[in-house]
Structure 1
Amino acid sequence: MAKSIQRTLSRKNWMAVTGLFLCFYLVIHLLGNLQLLLPDERAHIQFNWYAEVLSGNIIIRVVSWILFASIIGHIIYALIITLTNNHARNIRYQYDRRSAESKWYTRNMGVLGTVILIFLLIHLRDFWYIYKFGDLPVDEKGRKDLYVLVIKVYSDLWYVLLYVVCMIALFYHLLHGFFSAARTLGLYHPRYVRWVKMFGWVYSVVICAGFAFIPLYVHFVK
């Protein structure tokens, strides 16, 4: 029993650490993507420069390997914890009704995570894969023209709407995940709980609203 609890805590710690690293990456990614909101000519040059820096810098490459490892680890530990919790819930279901009082997004983190994973795979295929292995034109500076690709992809309304829906799913996933990570790492102290909640809400809203706004802006304004 003690070993089982210890394994669960270890998995939750890894979930928390990888999740917080991914939260940090989202901030960096959003700041880079905000360049798409610049006037067209400046956005074109600056965004392609940004993409080239990310793909050519050895430090960024190492960070990207850590990123992919974190994503894979986060998914694996999430799957293990979900299956373990489902098994335990089936055993004590008739005695424990606490799940009925929890938030709906807390009870459906697996569904939200699956939506985000599917979106991530589509997103990587449409941008990262084509940038790395596709036949992209070059801009006037001789850089791969990722900006043109982004404008083309976001010209499809269905993709923009899918993006927005997935950002809503990401919002609820982040909201629960942030509070869960804070509890797991011992940061959810009663003395600071109000500030932790406020930061979690502000972070989740800003990140997801920021990402959702960019394709909407590109589609309807650019």
Structure 2
Amino acid sequence: MAKSAFLKSSIAKKYWMALTGLFLCLFLVGHLAGNLQLLATLWHTTPDDAALHFNQYALFMTTNPAVKILSYVTYISILFHAIDGIILTLQNKKARPINYAMNKPERNTIWASRNMAVLGTVILVFIVSHMVSFWAKMHFDENMPLQTITINAGGAPQEFYVTTDGGYIPKAQVDQGAYKIHDRTSFYDGQANVKIKEGYKDLYKITIEFFKQPTYGLPFTILYVLSMIVLGFHLFHGFGSAFQSLGANNPKYNGLIKNIGKGFSIIVPALFAIIPLYIHFLLK
């Protein structure tokens, strides 16, 4: 088979589906580890401590050069995985335009394997809406709030902006013009117009308000949980299928791979789903 023919073949597409799928599984683990910090009020004494830890994580994820490169690889992998899946689905339908008269696929395949295209489409819609709600706000929203903390100063509570060097800037002084905010996060001296501090974008506040808002908080929470159930079904079949597509089909390891896939497809989506449920129903 010529090289160009191989690259266009369904076998090559299955290889890429498997590789991008397994890479995205690694991404899910890393993303989950960061998002679990939204539960930090369980082990931090105050919401301000929890917010600071999550916003420090968000700053690292949006400024570290290595993470930025991995982010671009992730975006490409998502697009490639989705497009490749659509092409494979269309090729399979084209190869079998007429269903068998006695076709009973439920006897030989699980439900998830027969509906991977539908499950993948739902997940893609979720990813897009998720990025619009959080990723886009973090990167492009000019009204993205900066993290503040309330401290009793001189016997009265005062609001301060938290800065990345561990310091604070009184919000009242910013409101009065002693300090100015440029480039969305940089604090400048109001008179000398010289940068003196850097603040944290308050992604924690945006996320908490998203799931706790009175009108849409509950529907958004339910949709998020349902999306994680869909993700679980997609992973349930996709994890083991990826290894099989790559040729890792050995009786010695098939059982182990299958069990790891089952555990991964249950634990990871469940932990993601716990986050909005905790925020909406339990976080004070």
Range class of TM-score, shorter chain? over 0.9
Name which of 52, 61, 64 aligns with 1:54.
61
Query: Greater relative contact order (Cα 8 A, min sep 6): structure 1 or 2?
Result: 1
Does the residue aligned with 1:158 lie in a helix, a strand or coil?
helix
Corresponding residue of 2:209: 152
| Counterpart contact for 1:37–1:214, Cα < 8 Å | yes
The answer as to 2:229 corresponding to 1:168 is yes
Distance in 1 (alpha carbons) for counterparts of 2:62 and 2:110: 40
C-alpha distance in structure 2 between counterparts of 1:44 and 1:96, whole Å: 58
Among candidates 11, 32, 35, match of residue 33 of structure 1 = 35
Q: Is the counterpart of residue 43 in structure 1 residue 104 in structure 2?
A: no
Map of 1:118 onto structure 2: 125
Matched, 1:178 2:185: no
**Secondary structure of the equivalent of 1:38?**
helix
1:217 and 2:278 correspond = yes
Runs of 4+ in 1 over 2 A off after TM superposition: 1-6, 93-101
TM-score (normalizing by structure 2): 0.74
Q: Which residue of structure 1 aligns with residue 72 of structure 2?
A: 65
Partners of 1:30 and 1:61 in 2: CA distance: 17
Distance 1:95 1:11, change over 3 A: farther
| CA offsets 1:140-176 (integer angstroms, 9 cap, x no match) | 2320000000001111000000000000000010111
Matching residue of 2:159: none
- Rounded to whole Å, the distance in 2 between the matches of 1:131 and 1:56 is 12
- Asked if 1:133 is matched to 2:140, the reply is yes
Q: Give the corresponding residue for 1:10.
A: 12
Q: Shift of the alpha carbon at 1:100?
A: 3.7
Task: Describe the SS at the equivalent of 2:9.
Answer: helix
Name the CA distance, whole Å, in 2 between partners of 1:220 and 1:25: 27
Q: Which of 192, 198, 201 is the equivalent residue of 2:253?
A: 192
Mapping 1:93-112, distance limit 5 Å: 93-94=99-100, 97=103, 99-101=105-107, 102-112=109-119
Name the CA distance, whole Å, in 2 between partners of 1:205 and 1:144. 32
Superposed CA RMSD in Å reads 1.8
**Count of matched residue positions in the alignment of Structure 1 and Structure 2:** 221
Shift of 1:41: 2.5
Deviation at 1:193, TM superposition (A): 1.2
SS state at 1:191 partner: helix
Amino acid at match of 2:37: Q
Task: Give the 3 Å change call, closer, same or farther, for CA 38–5 of structure 1 in structure 2.
Answer: closer
Name the one with the larger strand percent.
Answer: 2
C-alpha deviations, 1:50-76, integer Å up to 9, x for none?
000011111111000100010011011
User: Which structure 1 residue ranges, 5 or more long, are not aligned?
Assistant: none
- As a proportion of its length, which structure holds more helix? 1
